[in-house]
Amino acid sequence: MAEHPDRALVRRACTAFSQGDLDTVSTLMTADAVHHLPGDHAMSGHHKGRDACMDLYRSLYEETGGTLRVDLETVLCDGRGHAMSVHHLRAERGNRGLDTKTGHFFTVVGGKITDIDECVEDIDAWDAFWGP
């Protein structure tokens, strides 16, 4: 049985992101895509538009000095334009480390990602890592 197209799209985007291939990630998103990053820190909030999302992703890599590692564990879909991914994320930033699970809820329209809601396993650890 073939993989559902929404599941394949999200898997491709997550794999490209984990490899630092932001050019490919960009091609898989609509121009008006939004990424909602949780937390209470400088990078949290609603990143509106593909360019803003790409700026966010570059910042995540820069802030961690290239130590950001995101291992995709699974992708689920509902067959109606929604998919969820679960990841194991590890990173270092200054003298801080982060080792946690994250999840993303994707909305897919016309074969492209239009919206990403991110959730984290431990919001307090997340804020402590990304905060000042």
Would you state the pLDDT for residue 41? 94
Q: Please give the average pLDDT of every successive group of 10 residues along the chain, which has 132 residues.
A: 93 96 98 97 96 97 95 96 98 96 98 98 96 88
Sign of the torsion angle spanned by Cα atoms 123, 30, 52, 11: positive
The domain that holds 62 is classified in CATH as: 3.10.450.50
The domain in which residue 61 lies consists of 5-130
Number of structural domains found in the chain: 1
pTM across the whole model: 0.94
* Alpha carbons 17 and 14: distance in angstroms, whole number: 5
Which burial class, exposed, middle or buried, applies to 25 when counting CB atoms under 10 A from its CB (0-12, 13-18, 19+)? buried
How much is the pLDDT for 1? Answer: 73
Q: How far is CA 79 from CA 11, 12, 24, 43, 73, in A?
A: 15, 17, 23, 31, 19
E-assigned strand segments in 2-81: 29-37, 45-48, 69-77
Give residue 132's pLDDT. 83
| 75 CB-near residues (< 8 Å, 6+ apart) | 7, 10, 11, 14, 83, 84, 85, 86
Local structure of 108: helix, strand or coil: strand
Residues ≥6 apart with Cβ < 8 Å to 110: 30
pLDDT for the residue 2: 84
